[in-house]
Amino acid sequence: MKLRNIAIIAHVDHGKTTLVDELLKQSGAFRENQRIAERAMDSNDIEKERGITILAKATSVEWKDTRINIVDTPGHADFGGEVERILSMVDGAVLLVDAAEGPMPQTKFVVGKALKVGLKPIVAINKIDRPDARADEVINEVFDLFAALDATDEQLDFPILYGSGRDGWMNEGPEGPKDQGLAPLFDLVLKHVPEPTTEPGAFRMIGTILEANPFLGRIITGRIAAGSIKPNQAVKVLHHDGTLLENGRISKILAFRGLERQPIEEAQAGDIVAIAGLSKGTVADTFCDPTISQPMEAQPIDPPTVTMSFIVNDSPLAGTEGDKVTSRVIRDRLLKEAEGNVALKIEEAEDKDSFYVSGRGELQLAVLIETMRREGFELAVSRPRVVMQKDESGQLLEPIEEVVIDVDEEHSGIVVQKMSERKAEMTELKPSGGNRQRLVFHAPTRGLIGYQSELLTDTRGTAIMNRLFHEYQPYKGEIGGRVNGVLISNDNGESVAFAMWNLEDRGPMIIDAGVKVYQGMIIGIHSRDNDLEVNVLKGKKLSNVRAAGKDEAVKLTPPIRMTLERALSWIQEDELVEVTPKSIRLRKLYLDPNERKRFEKTRAGAA
């Protein structure tokens, strides 16, 4: 059977996974009566809840006499490590662009990587049925983007389709016809995307996606670059520096057939398959015939820009809600995560009770914490910090991001003001249709930590912010932090509604009444800039005197809900987020007030 390997690439929310669903349906991958979930490719719970793709996944469809292997890629820059590896597996790409939003930061990132490896993308203008669609302008913007990324003449001569992935049609004209479904896209893939290039010689393959299976052990997905492979065949695994990791045998070869993976008896060069049976090989390693001594070249991965401390939970409530609390199990889990996710970097601290986890952004790290929490882990995590570098002359460099904010015109002033306070430089301002403006900034990553929730408050929830790592630049100087102090519990026990009611003048609460608290735990936001220890355990004094105006009804203002991302971005250097399967609590790094004072003095002395 003829083969084609393609990736679907786009900015987040431009419709990649929905389009893959329609491709599967129209190619006959599903039975007529088969029940399938919306966005069938989003497999894990967090992907379904957030409506985003986190892990790249492969599938395949048959069209005419050709099998098309399709890889669905994430759209968030935080998961860009997945995209970089995937592009080395395919020979073509379908670039989806929203007909109203046009090319966005992540589009630029992915297209840049695709052009660099020599792919000639097909451009599909999606969501053409939107009332604010502006297809012709978007095409010009895509062309300008390709030109700015040094595309060759062949790459600039890209074919264009228009359509709606949700409605299941694509065609050469914006008006249709719509009755052909996605057939024009399938036919264009067969015509425009070259057959997989294979090399002569024995079996070779680079690992691209790693996953653990309870029955088969480690499963590695990749594209066979040369030769063929059968079950029980002897193979060896070479690290990218040429060292031998292991010798072993392939226990099973799984090929992608629709949404299912089926065992096959032989796989040929050019096909994308998953192999099982090896215990050490991981992403970017070369799986090859025992006669081969040189590893294949893997795509370099961009370095991480944000780091956080994962600390063993030592609060008074440690171990009451989760069953995985020791440093050993946390360490094993983090190392296992780093094996499959090459964009993550794990380092152990000297005290052995904390780990430095570095990644592409807060979202990537928050998804890791949320996943661990659901698996029963308890841990404390620090505020995200940026990864600094030094140049040859010893000058301190920090990561700068390109930030694109789409906002209603009336709110653009406050956005520009807040961004300039965060040392951002505006590079572009243009109308983006519908009385909205698109503001483009170059801003230090430090200043963007925690800005998302503030932006939504300032713009009444109407702004959309997209970020992408730009480059390292000289340190921009101090950036102001949070202006409010916190309310801290001064004892262990359960919060009492009466006490909280009396404390409402001091500032809004972040916990409910009847919640377990401990000394050093943050229970609210102080209305002033200093921290304040308060007693939330004090109940009402009961007496036998009853008078008409004596008993006031206790009506509490609903607390501010701290989600994991909001808590991570809101805390300061001397605070931690305690994460358990049931709760997210905020606390001071030092629970004892005397230790806190000592820490403040040493910090003031150092300053």
Is residue 15 part of an annotated ligand binding site? yes
CA distance 528 to 518: 22
Known binding residue 445? Answer is no
d(CA 373, CA 365): 12
17 annotated as a binding-site residue = yes
Give the chain's end-to-end CA distance (angstroms, integer).
69
CB-CB contact of 40 with 21 (8 Å): yes
18 is annotated as contributing to ligand binding: yes
- The answer to the question of whether 167 is labelled as a binding residue is no
Q: Is 457 annotated as a binding residue?
A: no
Sign of the dihedral through C-alpha 390, 391, 396, 398:
negative
Question: What's at 400, amino acid-wise?
Answer: I
- The single-letter code of the amino acid at 276 is A
DSSP secondary structure code for residue 111 in this structure = H
Residues 6 or more apart in contact with residue 26 via CB below 8 angstroms: 168, 181, 182, 183, 186
- Per the annotation, does 127 bind a ligand? yes
Q: Is 540 annotated as a binding residue?
A: no
Can you say whether the dihedral through the CA atoms of 441, 442, 447, 449 is positive or negative?
A: positive
Q: Which of 320, 324, 336, 332 is nearest to 378 (CA)?
A: 324
Q: What share of the chain is helix, strand, coil (3-state, %, to 5)?
A: 25, 30, 45
Between CA 357 and CA 309 the distance in angstroms is: 6
Known binding residue 14? Answer is: yes
Helix axes 135-148, 105-116, angle to 10 degrees: 50
Q: Are 516 and 472 in contact (CB under 8 A)?
A: no
Distance (Å) of CA 234 to CA 73, 132, 247, 248: 31, 57, 7, 6
* Known binding-site residue numbers for GTP: 13-18, 126-129
* Known binding-site residue numbers: 13-18, 126-129
